[in-house]
Chains A and B, each alone.
Chain A
Amino acid sequence: MRGTMKKDLVIIGGGPAGLAAAAAARETGVEDLLILERDQHLGGILNQCIHNGFGLHTFQEELTGPEYAGRYVEKVRSLEIPYKLNSMVVDLRAEGSRKIVTVMNREEGMYEIEARAVILAMGCRERPRGALNIPGYRPAGIYSAGTAQRYVNREGRMPGREAVILGSGDIGLIMARRLTLEGAKVKLVAEIQPYSGGLQRNIVQCLDDFGIPLKLSHTVVDIRGKERVEGVTVARVDENLKPIPGTEEEISCDTLLLSCGLIPENELTNGLGTSLNPVTGGPFVNESLETDKEGVFACGNVLHVHDLVDYVSEEAAQAGRNAAAFLQGNLSGRGREIPLVGTDGVRYTVPSSIDVSRMNETQIVRFRVGNAYRNAYLEVRCGGELLLSLKKPVLAPGQMEQVLLKKADLAGRKDLKEITFRVRTQV
């Protein structure tokens, strides 16, 4: 038990985002910082992602999840950044410019940390069965794909013998392969959308290579089994995603894995009174990845769900540098924030606004599209003027897109009201 501790910077979350943010903040000169991690290890969910494919952008190497995390953990240790494990942040609030972080753990009980700046890096969670409104019984054998992944990869335990996977998000695809390699039979991956939510490379490497069927525009409409799952009913859906009567197919299985989307974990963010973007589930941030509470930054999957961890690390490092600038008084006060607006297929943008006077020479804008497109153009417009047009052979919701804005293109425009991002399909 102790009184209030003071820190310049508190980073909530010791996964890939928190680690990269902490390292960058330290390298930019922040001495007094602390990482709070609720799990018993640093590295977050990467610890259970034992497949490879991580780090191609960051390290120009193919690493496994634990290896990728390990590089950052090593960096954090060599920079002597303090961290606390098994420490749950139970409350986050702002009192004037001070941020009060309430932490709980076994050794120290419950106490408050007063921080000048906070980086939100809490990650995301999987959408559960209940949120999908799948009718049927509630037996054992229904897992989110990530829970199953933890069992297979960390505990060496099988969650089932015959599985159907609902949702073709990346974790679901990866788990289809993993379960197969570990001796289970994956009978089907069903995806309610007419396109997959995962990366194309995962469809090829995880399903096609193992002969696992993927049924698009299909969903689970019933779960049977009172104690353990005995089977599911899969049906085709119409363009409104409603099951089409008469298309039902019963499949016997003892396991249903769900890979139906990830939800940023912003319950703490709510405590700050920060507004959340209903599209991403993450806070609105400006070019500095700063939320509408000054000195509170967000990065990684708590901000918006990423496809590759490399982009998480890059974004988090930017948040870390900006938090350092804020603490050092190098982040000038907020001026005129120009909204960035996604339209015509662009679902959202991160950041959601830009202060041209505060932006770097270039600014990465990340977003996802809401549909699958071929040979389309990504366009950026300023008022009526076309700033940028990029030809894209393939655009898919499973893949995060990014464009680079140049300060030179924006500075000096007095009439700048908003910048729009859109998909143009006609050539």
Chain B
Amino acid sequence: MYDVIVIGAGVTGCAIARELARFRWKTAVLERASDVCEGTSKANSGIAHAGYDAKPGTLKAKLNLEGSRMMEALSKELDFPYRRNGSLVLCFEETGKTELERLRAQGLANGVEGLEILDRKQLREKEPGVSDQAVAALYAPTGGIVCPFDLTLAFAENAAANGVEFHFTTQVTHMEKIPQGYRLDTSRGSYETRAVVNAAGVYAGELHNQISGKKIRIIPRKGEYCLMDKSVGNLVSHTLFQLPTAYGKGVLVTPTVHGNLLAGPTAVDVEDPESVNTTREGMDEVFKRAAMSVNGLPVKQVITSFAGLRAHEEGNDFIIGMVQDAPGFFDAAGMESPGLTCAPAVGKYVAAMVRTYLPAQEKSDFIPSRKGIPHIASASDAERKRLIGENPLYGNVVCRCELVTEGEIVDAIRRPLGATTLDGVKRRTRAGMGRCQAGFCLPKTLEILARELGQDIGQIRKNNGDSYFLTGFDKDGL
């Protein structure tokens, strides 16, 4: 019998798990994929929003501000990359300036600090890379960028270090109320628990509706992105949003925390909660709209494109809290943007609610910090020498584009909740995320994975299900 089970190991589920780990509960996270960060959390803008977007008084507004304020200290405590690069909402028509003013007022009401309207000249001084079309902008100095993979991993690893169990490839298929709480039937057996936290992303509506008569609807809203090479990562230094125009909602152009340039997302509601495919129309739209924000979008420098699904809720706000007709069942649903920014605050918020329902003492031995994998690419010369001195595997470069060494890959596999798949290694180390997109390092990374896991390379997968890389031996079919 568990005290709390969290369904979903995305950024929301992992942030909640980390906060639950502070208390004397038996806690588990169930995840249908083979790793953390396999859904919406792995395919988004990687933005820590300042907090002017949401309507005052909404959960989104409150949690966004809290999350944004927590991010800096948390990035040091849990060792993940985060940078306050400031954001700009660009306006392309003189008439749009009133909308900028409205956004600024909204931000002020939400408690966002330092908001400023920049005229054409001030805008160019602040951001020389901005397009000639932009006439004004709202500047938010507290806007930031964060690595969504590392943020999720940091929460998860810290939760695991504090005793939270993670059960992967465990898909909840059916839930039932039992006298002591809930029984969850999964693809890997049944679990009983006093309380449930539903952080199942695009599937949160389906799970909620199994247990509650008060139905909710989560709509998968697809967003397509294009990622550009690091050689153009400094085209702009701020995150450039766009005011919605008659032509559409607008896309962002931003440097990523690792130095690439990212453009996107589109916004299209889809039926299939698995349809993370990119489309010709989507990519064309990203190019067309992003080109409005910067002078000369370097479309030839695209190294990959991807799509993510936002868990959009009909009422346009998060649904967080205990379900009225299901005591002990907590929703963290509708976690679309700014869900990544809010995650730290959502974690605290949900843990406090669970604690009201299921009183528990704080652990005295809670470990608050987590150390990430040391990265050769971002290390100083002295640190590089020290790392290689301590472990020669840090001198063996596996991924040449991102300068990732065998030492980092081995660490990624051996650490708690270690990588078991190629994508797992990639998200933890960046091996294969560079300009050749794993053309050279794929065989080497598979070899290291196989060696460390005691498997044959034929058993190593990209991520889930049947995503095997190799299909057998030469001449098998002859």
B305 contacts chain A at the CB level, 8 A cutoff: yes
Known contacts A90-B397, A158-B473, A160-B471: A131-B303 contact under CB 8 Å: yes
Q: How far is the CA of A152 from the CA of B472 in the complex (A)?
A: 10
A110 and B280 contact, Cβ closer than 8 Å, known pairs A129-B437, A151-B470, A161-B477 = no
Cβ-defined partner of A131 (8 Å) among B283, B302, B472: B302
Residues of B within 8 A of A151 (CB): 443, 470
In Å, the complex CA distance between A402 and B458 comes to: 45
A270 to chain B, nearest CB (A): 7
Number of B residues with CB within 8 Å of any CB on chain A: 58
Interface pair B389/A1, CB less than 8 Å apart: yes
Q: Which residues of A contact B439 (CB under 8 A)?
A: 125-126, 128, 144, 146-147
CA distance A223 to B305 in the complex (A): 13
**Binary A-proximity of B438-478 (CB < 8 A = 1, otherwise 0):** 11101100000000000001100111111111111111111
Within 8 A of B (CB), among A151-165: 151-152, 155-161
Interface residues of A in 129-153 (CB under 8 A from B): 129-131, 133, 135-141, 143-144, 146-147, 150-152
Is A384's CB within 8 Å of the partner chain B?
Answer: no
Q: Is A109 positioned at the interface, with any CB of B under 8 Å from its CB?
A: yes
Contacts of B474 in A (CB 8 A): 152, 156-158, 182-183
The stretch that binds B, out of A99-107, A301-309, A316-324, is A99-107
| B389 near A140: Cβ-Cβ < 8 Å | no
Q: A228 touching B442 by the CB < 8 A rule?
A: no
Q: Which residue on chain A has the smallest CB distance to residue B401?
A: A267
User: Is A365 part of the contact surface with B, judged by Cβ < 8 Å?
Assistant: no
Bound Cα distance A39, B458 (Å): 23
| A128–B397 CB distance below 8 A | no
Contact call A107/B392, Cβ cutoff below 8 A: yes
Complex contact B476–A158 (CB within 8 A): yes
B395 touching A128, Cβ below 8 Å: no
Residues of B within 8 A of A137 (CB): 276-277
Give the A-B pair count, Cβ closer than 8 A.
Answer: 151
Does A226 sit within 8 A of B, measured CB to CB?
yes
Q: Does B436 contact A (CB under 8 A)?
A: yes
Say yes or no for A221: interface residue by CB 8 A criterion.
yes
Structural contact, B476 and A183, CB atoms closer than 8 A: yes
Decide if B274 is an interface residue (CB 8 Å cutoff): yes
A184 CA / B461 CA spacing, docked (Å): 20
**At the interface, yes or no: A359 with Cβ under 8 Å from chain B?**
no
CB distance from B227 to the nearest CB of A (A): 7
B212 at the interface (CB under 8 A from A): no
| Docked complex Cα distance between A34 and B94 (Å) | 62
B231 part of interface (Cβ distance < 8 Å) = yes
Enumerate B375-402 residues with CB–CB distance to A below 8 Å.
Answer: 376, 381, 384-385, 388-389, 392-393, 395-397, 400-401
- The answer to the question of B306 belonging to the interface, with a C-beta cut-off of 8 Å to chain A, is yes
Q: Are B277 and A135 in contact (CB under 8 A)?
A: yes
Cα-based distance from A111 to B8 in the complex (angstroms): 45
Q: How far is the CA of A151 from the CA of B388 in the complex (A)?
A: 30
B470 touches A221 (CB 8 A): no
Residue A38 at the chain B interface, CB threshold 8 Å: yes
Cβ-defined contact, A135 with B477, below 8 A: no
A372 to chain B, nearest CB (A): 24
CB neighbors of A among B184-238 (8 A): 226-227, 231
Determine whether B46 belongs to the interface, using a CB cutoff of 8 Å to chain A: no
Given known pairs A109-B388, A270-B231, the reply for A88 and B397 (CB within 8 Å) is yes
- Determine whether the beta carbon of B471 is less than 8 Å from that of A126: no
Q: Taking the complex as formed, is A95 at the interface, i.e. its CB lies under 8 A from any CB of chain B?
A: no
Residues in A with CB closer than 8 Å to B462 are 139-140, 227
* A151–chain B nearest beta-carbon distance, Å: 7
Taking CB atoms, residues of chain B closer than 8 Å to A110 are 381, 384-385, 388, 395
Q: Is A254 an interface residue (CB 8 A)?
A: yes
With the chains together, A147 CA to B422 CA distance in Å? 15
The answer to whether B388 and A135 have CB atoms under 8 Å apart is no
**Given the complex of chains A and B, what is the CA–CA distance between A336 and B219 in angstroms?**
67
Contacts of A139 in B (CB 8 A): 462, 467
Q: A64 on the interface (CB 8 Å rule)?
A: no
**Is the CB of A202 closer than 8 A to any CB of chain B?**
no
Asked if B279 is at the interface of the complex by the 8 Å CB criterion, the answer is: yes
Nearest Cβ in chain B — how far from A78, in angstroms? 29
Choose from B283, B401, B403 the contact partner of A135 (Cβ within 8 Å).
Answer: B283
Do A128 and B385 touch (CB < 8 A)?
no
The answer to whether B396 touches A135, judged by C-beta atoms less than 8 angstroms apart, is no
- Asked if B282 is at the interface (CB within 8 A of a chain A CB), the reply is yes
Partner of B392 from A106, A128, A138, A223 at Cβ < 8 Å: A106
> For residue B224, which residue of chain A has the nearest CB?
A135
How distant is the Cα of A80 from the Cα of B79 in the complex, in angstroms?
A: 48
Give, as a whole number of angstroms, the nearest-CB distance from A329 to chain B.
Answer: 34
**A109 CA / B388 CA spacing, docked (Å):** 6
Question: Within the complex, what minimum Cβ distance (angstroms) separates B42 from chain A?
Answer: 11
Residues of chain B from 240 to 286 with CB closer than 8 A to chain A in the complex: 274, 276-280, 282-283
B295 at the interface (CB under 8 A from A): no
Say whether A28 faces chain B, with CB atoms less than 8 Å apart.
no
User: Is B227 within 8 A of A130, CB to CB?
Assistant: yes
Tell me the complex Cα distance, A152–B470, Å.
10
User: Measured between C-beta atoms, what is the minimum distance from A229 to chain B in Å?
Assistant: 10
Q: A86's contact among B302, B388, B396, by CB below 8 Å, is which?
A: B396
Q: Quote the shortest CB–CB distance from A414 to chain B (angstroms).
A: 41
How far does the Cβ of A113 sit from chain B's closest Cβ, in whole Å? Answer: 14
Contact B395–A106 (Cβ < 8 Å): yes
On whether A158 and B471 interact (CB within 8 A), knowing A106-B396, A126-B436, the answer reads yes
* Alpha-carbon distance between A243 and B283 when the two chains are bound, in angstroms: 14
Chain A residues with Cβ under 8 A from B461's Cβ? 140
By the criterion CB–CB under 8 Å, are B440 and A105 in contact?
no
Q: Does residue B304 face the partner (Cβ distance < 8 Å to A)?
A: yes
Of all chain B residues, which has the CB nearest A153? B474
Give A32 to B458 CA distance when docked, in angstroms.
Answer: 45
Q: How far is the CA of A106 from the CA of B305 in the complex (A)?
A: 34
> Residues of B contacting A161 with CB < 8 Å?
471-472, 477
> Which of A104, A130, A158, A183 is close to B384, meaning CB atoms less than 8 Å apart?
A104
A 270-298 binary contact with B (CB < 8 Å = 1; else 0): 10000000000000000000000000000
Bound: A228/B280 CA distance, A: 21
| Most-contacted residue by chain A among B388, B439, B440, B462 (CB, 10 A) | B439
Find out whether the CB atom of B303 lies under 8 angstroms from the CB atom of A128: yes
Asked whether A140 and B467 contact (CB < 8 A) given A104-B395, A109-B395, A161-B477, the answer is yes
Q: Once the chains are docked, how many angstroms separate the CA of A144 from the CA of B396?
A: 23
Compute how far the CA of A182 lies from the CA of B471 in the bound complex, rounded to whole angstroms.
12
**How far does the alpha carbon of A1 sit from the alpha carbon of B386 in the complex, in Å?**
10
Tell me the minimal C-beta distance from A63 to chain B in angstroms: 22
Inter-subunit contact B475/A183 (CB<8 Å)? yes
Contact among B226, B277, B384 for A136, CB-based, below 8 A: B277
User: Which 6 residue pairs spanning A and B have beta carbons closest together?
Assistant: A130-B304, A183-B477, A128-B437, A140-B462, A88-B397, A227-B465
Mark A residues whose CB is within 8 Å of B: 1, 38, 86, 88, 90, 104-110, 125-126, 128-131, 133, 135-141, 143-144, 146-147, 150-152, 155-161, 182-184, 221-223, 226-228, 243, 254-255, 267, 270
Subset of 20 A-B contacts with CB under 8 Å: A90-B397, A90-B403, A104-B388, A106-B396, A109-B384, A110-B395, A126-B436, A128-B436, A135-B279, A135-B280, A135-B305, A147-B442, A151-B443, A157-B473, A182-B477, A183-B478, A221-B280, A226-B274, A255-B471, A270-B231
Given contacts A105-B396, A126-B439, A158-B474, 10 further A-B contacts (CB under 8 A): A38-B397, A109-B392, A146-B439, A157-B457, A157-B473, A183-B476, A222-B277, A226-B465, A227-B463, A227-B466
